[in-house]
């Protein structure tokens, strides 16, 4: 390619070809043509050597990153799936950033760059959801699946089973069929991030005293609380898992300090890692209910 580029930049008369004294370039002369081509090769090689080189290790790492999600049963978000906000980087338009005294980014004109690890808080544990948005929802919509409806039925069945295992028996028995179907669809991962955004928006709206965005057809995952606790739930819902678990611990400690030793202990114990695993859920509930009576 570089050879052909040099052809477009240099004609025979532009080059000092050693054709002999007083002779001009003749394309039909094989010796003249060969000297011209050799000169073009020299220029192309010189230009090629000036180009920046990529280390073999860098090339191998890049290829591995591109192919890391292909045919994997366990999906993880790659740089191609995740927005830069996940890494705590955001760009603010200068018409807004200028009001806060922020400077224009040297590389991205018209925007100011913000870097903070706190910006990535809402995306904790979203690696699968972000990967599935491209690899599951994207492939489903584009017809890449070999058996589209078979895959959908399998995912819905697995999602239904997941919701049934994670939902307490008293809540499962009261759940309407519409909610069971919608929750199974959410857990199936078919729409990945989009269905999760829908339920988060619904919970946030209800926690802040707003309407049910489904028009009353569906219920949120958890009953909304009112007043100050509703505002706390709205903030933790948007803030992500780290903010949510910290709030749970703080609420338990607050109850304990206020003299509600049983309820405070119950809240803290149920928020511990692995405390709500399905295979000992009933035993954990019985133990914490017994503690809460003291």
Query: Is 96 a domain residue?
Result: yes
Beta strands per DSSP E along 97-235: 111-115
Does the predicted TM-score (pTM) go above 0.75? no
Residues 6 or more apart from 225 whose CB is under 8 A from it? 207, 233
Per-residue pLDDT of the chain (294 residues), as tens digits, is 889 988 888 888 888 787 777 677 787 888 888 888 998 999 999 988 888 777 788 878 877 766 655 555 667 777 878 888 888 899 999 999 999 999 999 888 899 999 988 888 888 778 878 887 877 777 777 766 677 788 888 889 999 998 998 887 888 888 999 999 999 998 888 887 888 889 888 988 888 888 999 988 999 988 888 777 788 888 887 777 778 888 888 888 988 888 888 888 888 888 888 887 777 877 887 888 787 776
Residues 6 or more apart from 263 whose CB is under 8 A from it? 255, 292
Q: What is the largest CA-CA distance in the chain?
A: 112
Query: Is 289 a domain residue?
Result: yes
CB atoms within 10 A of CB 68: 13
Query: Is 23 a domain residue?
Result: yes
Last residue of a domain, one of 72, 103, 124: 124
Last residue of a domain, one of 124, 152, 180: 124
Last residue of a domain, one of 124, 146, 181: 124
Q: Could you give the 3-state DSSP secondary structure of residue 236?
A: helix
Query: Is 40 a domain residue?
Result: yes
Concatenating the DSSP letter of every residue in 161-184 gives HHHHHHS-HHHHHH--HHHHHHHH
Domain that holds residue 22: 2-50
Query: Is 248 a domain residue?
Result: yes
User: What total of structural domains would you count in the chain?
Assistant: 3
pLDDT of residue 145: 67
Query: Is 228 a domain residue?
Result: no
Q: Could you give the 3-state DSSP secondary structure of residue 175?
A: coil
Query: Is 30 a domain residue?
Result: yes
Query: Is 108 a domain residue?
Result: yes
Spatial separation of the C-alpha atoms in residues 208 and 187, rounded to whole Å: 25
With beta carbons less than 8 A apart as the criterion, state whether 83 and 91 touch: no
């Amino acid at each position: 390619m570089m050879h052909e580029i040099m052809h477009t930049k240099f004609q025979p008369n532009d080059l000092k070809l050693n054709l002999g004294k007083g002779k001009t370039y003749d394309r039909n002369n094989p010796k003249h043509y060969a000297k011209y081509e050799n000169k073009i090769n020299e220029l192309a090689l010189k230009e090629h050597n000036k180009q920046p080189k990529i280390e073999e290790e860098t090339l191998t790492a890049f290829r591995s990153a591109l192919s890391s999600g292909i045919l994997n049963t366990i999906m993880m978000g790659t740089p191609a799936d995740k927005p830069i906000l996940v890494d705590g980087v955001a760009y603010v338009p200068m018409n807004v950033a200028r009001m806060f005294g922020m400077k224009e980014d040297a590389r991205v004109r018209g925007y100011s760059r913000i870097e903070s690890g706190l910006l990535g808080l809402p995306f904790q544990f979203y690696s699968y959801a972000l990967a599935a948005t491209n690899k599951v929802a994207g492939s489903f919509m584009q017809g890449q699946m070999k058996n589209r409806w078979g895959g959908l039925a399998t995912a819905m069945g697995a999602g239904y089973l997941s919701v049934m295992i994670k939902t307490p028996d008293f809540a499962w028995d009261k759940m309407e069929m519409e909610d069971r179907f919608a929750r199974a669809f959410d857990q199936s991962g078919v729409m990945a991030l989009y269905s999760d955004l829908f339920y988060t928006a619904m919970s946030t709206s209800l926690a802040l005293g707003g309407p049910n965005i489904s028009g009353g057809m569906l219920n949120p995952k958890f009953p909304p609380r009112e007043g100050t606790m509703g505002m706390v739930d709205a903030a933790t819902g948007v803030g992500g898992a780290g903010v949510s678990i910290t709030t749970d611990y703080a609420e338990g400690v607050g109850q304990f300090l206020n003299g509600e030793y049983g309820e405070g202990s119950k809240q803290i114990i149920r928020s511990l890692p692995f405390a709500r695993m399905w295979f000992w859920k009933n035993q954990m509930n019985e133990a914490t209910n017994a503690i809460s009576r003291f």
